[in-house]
A and B are shown apart, each in its own frame.
Chain A
Amino acid sequence: MAGLKLINLQKKFGNNAVVDKLNVDIKDGEFVTFLGPSGCGKTTTLRMVAGFIKPTKGSISIDGKIISSYEDNTFLPPDKRDMGMVFQTYAVWPHMNVFKNIAYPLKFKKYSKKETKERVSVTLSLVKLEGFEDRFPHQMSGGQQQRVALARAVVMEPSVLLLDEPLSNLDAKLRESMRYEIVELQQRLAITVVYVTHDQIEAMSMSDRVVVMDQGIVQQIGSPQNVYQNPSNKFVANFIGMANFIPCEIVNREKSVVRVKLNDGSGKNFLTVPVINEKDYSNNVTVVIRPEDIDVLPSDGQEGTIGTLVRQTYIGDRNDCTIQFGDVLLRVHTQNKFTLNIGEEVKLVLSNPVLLNT
């Protein structure tokens, strides 16, 4: 069990920095997920933590003890880091049965035969594979192999558990149930987890905190609610969930509230947006509104925020509308079941706006 600190981490391949200026402070027992599109540097980061890649700048420490520091020229190899790791391809050894696979890390911990047997059997029940000791990997399904990989990673009670897209090779149904199992396991072992995925649902549903990355740079660190409700930039807003961006101008700023004029061409639509005290905004800003935070009503001919219905799809649990609003097309998910006609003017009700610099 341990806290993990990544300080100003950088990895360059040649001249190309695929991870840069990475600072993350992971608390003991926390479940932190690195989330970002493919190629953004998640795996590279995780492999620096594991010790498979040497950083070209910065340091990593566990509980204050430095395990990797470019500046101090310190580097602990993976076998000395006391971590567990689950690989995307499972990497269950095909020449060993389940027992041997899981018992392997214990070989380096001076366990007696009896203790080894006990630990393996406890761990197997933890991943719901009781009685599978003598099976060989080729006799198991992908999901079962994944559990073996998980068991092998936690059997020696590592200080940190690392997982690199562990569910991406499983089918959709299994993936969902494994999500809960991994979280449950983490909570039972009270272990620190660093998880890597490009799947936002996985990240949101499992993590205590999410580290959103793009092009090697951390974009935002926060709880799932936080990154969803308060994205710190357009990338985060767009990558996590769906987002509408409405360009606007600030007309008035008070301490923690800003009044903006929406650039929809009418010049008559204003919004009041809560903001953080200290944050500075330029004159040209954008308002982010989630599709479910817009409501569509029949236009009663009166003044208001008016758009034109362009497309409407009814998908059972909601009405998925596209609305022309000034120069932008808004995506709207509404529960309203009005029958509206394409081309008709509609009245929009906007809530929970977030202000971002353009």
Chain B
Amino acid sequence: MASLTSKSKLKFRNSAQTYFKWGVYGAGLIIFILLLFVVIYPSYTLVKNSFIADDHASFNNYIALFTSQTTFIVFRNTFIVAFWGAIGATAIGVLIAWLLARTDIPFKKFWRTALIIPYLIPPFIGAIAWVYLLGPVGYINKIWMAVANTFDPLWVIYGRGGIIFVMILYSYPIAYMVTLGPLAQMNPALEEAGQISGAGTLRTLRDITLPLMLPSIGGSALLIFMSMMANFGIPAVIGFPKRYFVMTTQIFLTILNFDRANNLQIAAALSMLLVFLAIITMQLQRWVQRGKSFAIISGKSSQPQLIQLKNKKYVAVVFLGLLVLLTVALPVLSILATSLLKALGLPFTFDNLSFVHYQRIFTELPKAQRAIKNSFLLATGSATAIVFIALIISYLVVKLKVKWGMFLEALVILPYAVPGIVVALAMILAFVKPLPLVNISLYNTIWIIAIAYIARFLTFGVRSISAAFEQVHGSLEDAARISGADFVSSFKDIVIPLIKSNIFAGWFLAFSPALTELTLSMLLFSVGNETLGTVVFGLHQEGKVGMTAALSLIVMIFVVLLNILTNKITKGKLGF
């Protein structure tokens, strides 16, 4: 009798697990169909459209592009901007990483935090801030004119140099973050072996440290190159006034150029070129980091000895201080000042300061209020959807190790790997016509933005949650099972608590960029469905300086609060 009972229990346990597994497979199928709908179908439509001219299959779009002088110029501009931007940002980022990881520079904790902040400021807002500083009537230029007693501004930021400058300021943290780890964890004996061989400090740096770091440095340079090529906000803010266009802004203008025949199709072809460039860069980056990735990190956690900067300490501190000034202090102050000044150009006296712009945002500008509401709704909704989708995808890929896992992962990465402007165009092309069967058009609704956000930021959720599943070793569940927990209990008691913090992290990683998203929204929004990014950008374009600044500051406050909250909830894993 006793054995019978235990047998039936055994059967029950197995079936719970089986149900769960089939449940996950079922959910996986639904998600696969969803991805088909939001990733594969738009990609396919984009490719197809690039080969359609006047409703016929043809190469005319490409022919038009390759025979146009503009394409060549835009292509060259993109390359120049991304190239010099990547070099500058990498040089600065690596230097910072080295100073913080390897020297006795003071106030390390402060620098570590302060130098990451630029990464949190949405690039287009940073660009707008720099227009306030170095535009034709920017604060720095005006001070210069007063001090030097001249009518010539010091430097007007519009155009190529300005784009490169602002891009460097807002992407060096990538290089810093990528190279800090390898620099800090490099086996110190590798460098000590150089010293004992007779090489002095600088020589060791040149012959050993730098070559060993080359894969990380090269990899981060290419990563930055890619992100600069794909950036839309900075060249839009800084490039438009001087009609200096790069691929992303050119695609944008082509899409909006309704008078031109086949404008969407030509934009699609141009997008294909941009994607092609992105793929090449990505492959190059993989090659650089795989082919020569040295095992330079020792198992032992011995600390490298810190290089004594001695009197060069002051130079280093001034350098880092200048960076914080340029990337954080000046931009934030300029936005704050502009938002409080009744009108641009007035002197800074107490009488000229007011909260009128903030007031107007909340009284006269319903689209701004809608934007705040929409952006929070979109970010919350898409982040939540992303976490659920990511849970299932990660479980399928990591735990169940399904055969089509690689394919699933590729689908997740694709919308983030290609430039945002391309994703936006693909969404337009895919959903401009009513959906078949149900005959509903997503175009001009908030749903098309939601779909685009989910597709684009899904990778953050999957990365975070997959990492968690990988850490929960099977033996932990086995231990629960052998202790008497059934499958459901072991999942509930062991797996979920262990991955909880990563679920939160994934949610925030998707929420933050969604909240301040610009590129996708710019092409997908419609009246009533504005987002924070589109309204800030729109106000800036309309020349409503005070309100632009006020809303920008509000966005930055959101970002800061979000980071503090993230830090609290993920217990220091993310944010600060």
Contact = CB atoms under 8 A, between A and B. Distances in A.
A104 B195 contact: no
Contact of A95 (B193, B196, B212): B212
Given A50-B196, A87-B189, A104-B194, 10 more contacts: A50-B192, A79-B195, A79-B197, A83-B196, A84-B196, A89-B187, A94-B296, A104-B197, A105-B198, A162-B196
Counting chain B CB atoms within 10 Å of each CB, which of A93, A104, A152, A153 scores highest?
Answer: A93
Nearest to A164: B189
A44 B239 CA distance: 58
Interface string B426-460: 00000000000000000000000000000000000
A95 B198 contact: no
A269 to B, nearest CB: 50
B197 A108 contact: yes
Contacts of A85: 192-193, 196
Contacts of A201: none
Nearest to A102: B197
A50 B187 CA distance: 17
B300 A94 contact: no
Interface string B184-210: 000101101111111110010001100
A153 B193 CA distance: 9
A93 B190 CA distance: 6
A88 B189 contact: yes
Chain A interface, DSSP helix/strand/loop, else mixed:
mixed
Interface of A: 50-52, 77-85, 87-91, 93-95, 104-105, 107-109, 138, 149, 152-153, 156, 162
B18 interface: no
Contacts of B207: 104
B528 interface: no
Chain B interface size, as a band, is 20 to 34
A149 B194 CA distance: 12
B298 interface: yes
B211 to A, nearest CB: 5
Contacts, number: 78
A109 B295 contact: no
**Residue among B195, B292, B296 with the highest chain A CB neighbour number at 10 A:** B195
A79 B196 contact: yes
Given A79-B198, A104-B197, A152-B197, A95 B189 contact: no
B200 A79 contact: yes
B193 A93 contact: yes
Given A94-B295, A94-B296, A87 B195 contact: no
A349 B159 CA distance: 98
Contacts of B294: 94-95, 138
A260 B195 CA distance: 56
B192 A52 contact: yes
A78 B296 contact: no
Nearest to A96: B211
B58 interface: no
B189 A78 contact: no
Contacts of B199: 79, 104, 107-108
Contacts of A149: 193
Contacts of A83: 196
B541 interface: no
13 contacts: A51-B196, A52-B195, A78-B192, A87-B189, A89-B299, A93-B193, A93-B194, A93-B208, A94-B296, A109-B198, A138-B295, A153-B196, A162-B196
A81 B196 contact: yes
B305 interface: yes
A78 B305 CA distance: 13
A91 B187 contact: yes
A87 B212 CA distance: 18
A149 B214 CA distance: 23
Contacts of B295: 94, 138
B296 A52 contact: no
Contacts of B189: 87-91
6 closest Cβ pairs, A-B complex: A108-B198, A91-B189, A94-B294, A105-B197, A87-B189, A78-B195
Contact of A94 (B197, B200, B212, B299): B212
A90 B189 CA distance: 8
B197 A89 contact: no
The residue in B196, B211, B214, B299 that gathers the most chain A C-beta atoms within 10 A of its C-beta is B196
A216 to B, nearest CB: 19
Nearest to B293: A94
A88 B199 CA distance: 20
Contacts of A79: 195-200, 203
A340 B51 CA distance: 96
Interface string B124-150: 000000000000000000000000000
Nearest to A105: B197
Contacts of A51: 195-196
Interface string B506-544: 000000000000000000000000000000000000000
A149 B197 CA distance: 11
A81 B195 CA distance: 10
A89 B195 CA distance: 16
A87 B193 contact: yes
A38 B214 CA distance: 35
Interface string B288-329: 000010111011100001000000000000000000000000
A78 B196 contact: yes
Contacts of B195: 51-52, 77-79
Contacts of B194: 93, 104
A209 to B, nearest CB: 23
Interface in B377-427: none
Contacts of B196: 50-51, 78-79, 81, 83-85, 153, 162
A107 B212 contact: no
A50 B196 CA distance: 7
Contacts of B187: 89, 91
Interface string B259-295: 0000000000000000000000000000000001011
A156 B196 CA distance: 11
A111 to B, nearest CB: 12
A354 B198 CA distance: 48
A148 to B, nearest CB: 11
A42 to B, nearest CB: 14
B203 to A, nearest CB: 8
A211 B203 CA distance: 35
* Most B Cβ at <10 Å: residue of A81, A95, A105, A153: A95
A153 B196 CA distance: 9
Given A91-B189, A93-B208, A95-B211, A156 B198 contact: yes
A137 to B, nearest CB: 9
Contacts of B212: 93-95
A109 B198 CA distance: 9
Contact of B200 (A50, A77, A89, A104): A77
A89 B296 CA distance: 10
Contacts of B203: 79
B198 A107 contact: yes
B425 to A, nearest CB: 43
A149 B295 CA distance: 16
A177 to B, nearest CB: 23
Contacts of B296: 94
Contacts of A50: 192, 196
B489 to A, nearest CB: 43
Nearest to A83: B196
A90 B194 CA distance: 12
A11 to B, nearest CB: 14
Nearest to A78: B195
Contacts of A93: 190, 193-194, 208, 212
A78 to B, nearest CB: 4
Contacts of B198: 79-80, 82, 105, 107-109, 156
Interface string B163-194: 00000000000000000000000010110111
A205 to B, nearest CB: 25
A14 to B, nearest CB: 15
Contacts of B208: 93
A244 B197 CA distance: 46
